[in-house]
Amino acid sequence: MEAAVHELHLFGSVHETSRARLPATEKPILLVVADTEEEFDWSKPHDRNSTDVTAMPSITRAQSVFDEFGIRPCYVVDFPVVAVEQGYAALRDIQADGRCEIGAHLHPWVSPPHEEQVCTRHSFPGNLPAELEESKLHTLNERITEIFGAPAKTYKAGRYGIGPSTGRILERLGFDVDLSVVPDFDYSGEEGPDFSGYPYGPYWFGVRRRMLCVPATSAIAGFLGSLRRPVYRLANRPPLRRMKMPGILSRLGAADRLHLSNEGYSVAENIKLTRWLHARGERVFTYSFHSPSVVPGHTPYVRTDEDLQAFLDGFRRYFEFFFGELGGVTMTPSELRRHLAKGCA
């Protein structure tokens, strides 16, 4: 069993009775999640005035690929997206056709009420005072309800920023699924959460253990077994990092930190991560990306038209692997929760 996890977010450690395990004979399940948000300069400090959503009408570029494979993605939307018609019009059409699910994504610096100082620490919503974190999420979900006809039941914290009050807030506001955990990633250097040792697969949490946490598909993968994490951390200390030790470990297949996404990771790396986790018995996989990447120039991952073509092709090539070689199926977060709940009935 993996190490105990963030106790306050989860109302206790993840015990074996909390894990939502699927049998090894079950077909692997793929979720596609889009962080659906405003455009901003990733290299600059967070700015409350950066709220443009000019890329959103082009979200159909990605959706058309999902439609090819029968995938209903979950668009977790933040406040700038639902604040103006340019942000939500295309999504509302997709949702009305039953081709997607809508969730909530909280970027505190652009989400009312604007009471906190804009800074790196407060960019993680879980670092806000509990009352303000809840107020921002409540306001966002009210707007989601107004635009899409129903409140979001799935949540993904901006910058993966869960905190000591997040679990209780989600339960009070009626959320069913959380997507905020990123196993083996550590944001504590920016005062964010440390997900080292979190489990790779889904688990139940909350006072009544009715909410489902579906971690992002990420891991330090490699043949070093239990040594892969400490070796990876050692290799990333300044002296060894300057010697390019992380890259050496990756090429050797010893310890490689990967995240299932076509942003910053190749198709080969995505397949490598999936095979490694699948061999360990994991059966739920989450593929994620940021909505502004559908237009060149808005994220570091898609700068040119050629980058955009590679970005879209990355979806297709991975989906062909997942549904072909692995024989997988696809679900939305809500569908997965219902599927797992049946197994616990």
- Residue 71 near residue 100 (C-beta atoms within 8 A): no
CATH code for the domain in which residue 180 is found: 3.20.20.370
Is 53 within a domain?
A: yes
Q: Which domain holds residue 190?
A: 31-214+288-296
Is 3 within a domain?
A: no
Is 278 within a domain?
A: no
The pair phi, psi for residue 29, each rounded to 5°, is -115, 130
Check pLDDT > 70 for residue 2.
no
The predicted pLDDT at position 282 comes to 97
Mean pLDDT of 54-68: 98
Lowest mean pLDDT among 62-66, 206-210, 288-292, 307-311: 206-210
The CA-to-CA distance between both ends of the chain, in Å, stands at 23
CA–CA separation, 213 vs 116, rounded Å?
28
Q: To the nearest whole percent, how much of the chain has pLDDT over 70? A: 94
The predicted pLDDT at position 230 comes to 86
Q: How many other CB atoms sit within 10 Å of the CB of residue 70? A: 11
Kindly tell me the burial class for residue 213, based on how many C-beta atoms sit within 10 Å of its own C-beta (0-12, 13-18, 19 or more).
Answer: buried
Query: pTM (2 decimals)?
Result: 0.94
- The model's pLDDT over 165-193, given as tens digits with 9 standing for 90+, comes to 999 999 999 999 999 999 999 999 999 99
Is 247 within a domain?
A: no
Is 311 within a domain?
A: no
- The model's pLDDT over 316-341, given as tens digits with 9 standing for 90+, comes to 999 999 999 999 999 999 999 999 99
Is 239 within a domain?
A: no
DSSP readout, 20-73? ----TTSPPEEEEEEEE-----TTS---TT----TTGGGGHHHHHHHHHTT---
User: Which of the four pLDDT bands, split at 50, 70 and 90, describes residue 3?
Assistant: very low
CA–CA separation, 87 vs 192, rounded Å?
28
CA–CA separation, 281 vs 327, rounded Å?
15
Split into its structural domains, the chain has a count of 1
Is 5 within a domain?
A: no
Is 292 within a domain?
A: yes
Average pLDDT, the chain: 93
User: Which of the four pLDDT bands, split at 50, 70 and 90, describes residue 94?
Assistant: very high
